[in-house]
Structure formats: structure tokens, C-alpha cells
Amino acid sequence: MRQLSDSYRAPDYILTDAFERQEDESWRLVSSSGTVYQVPKYCPGISYGMNELSSFLIISESNKLLVWLDEADTVQRIVKLPARW
């Protein structure tokens, strides 16, 4: 079994409530539970099963996402899950 570093964090599983582009071209993601995530301009976003980077324009209300955060709680990666999950 592989050892995980002490700084490793499992992704957050969220349902989106809002995903808004900011003036500095970063994004503000709000989950249905009210948690607010700051998403940097160049954060990778991937649609599950597509194996390719996607535009954040595909993310909308009620999407299911996996969100990886760094130690400062800044989003590092987003995976959009299929609607049926």
C-alpha cells in the first residue's frame, strides 16, 4: 500500500448552487451547503470519462463535482461527474 503524505486531502463532493466568473477571471463556486470555493483562473477542470480539460462554462447549478483543495483551501482541480450519479 502506498503511503499518503500528511498534507493529502480527499476531494470534496459537492452539488453546485452557483458558479460565477469574477473580474480577475477567477471563479467563485458556491455549493448547495453554502460553502464558498475560490477557483483560480488556470485551475484544471475535467468532465468525468472525457479525459480532457473542459471550459468552466460547462459547470452550472446542480452539477455534481469533486473538488480538490490545497492547504490554503484554494481549488486545485475540479472533476464534473455525470448527472446520473
Of the candidates 39, 47, 45, the one whose C-alpha atom is nearest the C-alpha of residue 21 is: 39
Distance, CA of 17 to CA of 15 (rounded, Å): 7
Least confident range of 9-13, 28-32, 50-54:
50-54
In this structure, is residue 66 part of a structural domain? Answer: yes
Range of the domain at 48: 10-78
pLDDT in tens, 32-79: 999 999 999 888 887 777 666 666 666 777 789 999 999 888 999 998
Instruction: Report if residue 62 sits inside a domain.
Output: yes
Res 24: pLDDT: 95
More confident residue, 6 or 44: 44
User: Is residue 15 a part of any domain in this protein?
Assistant: yes
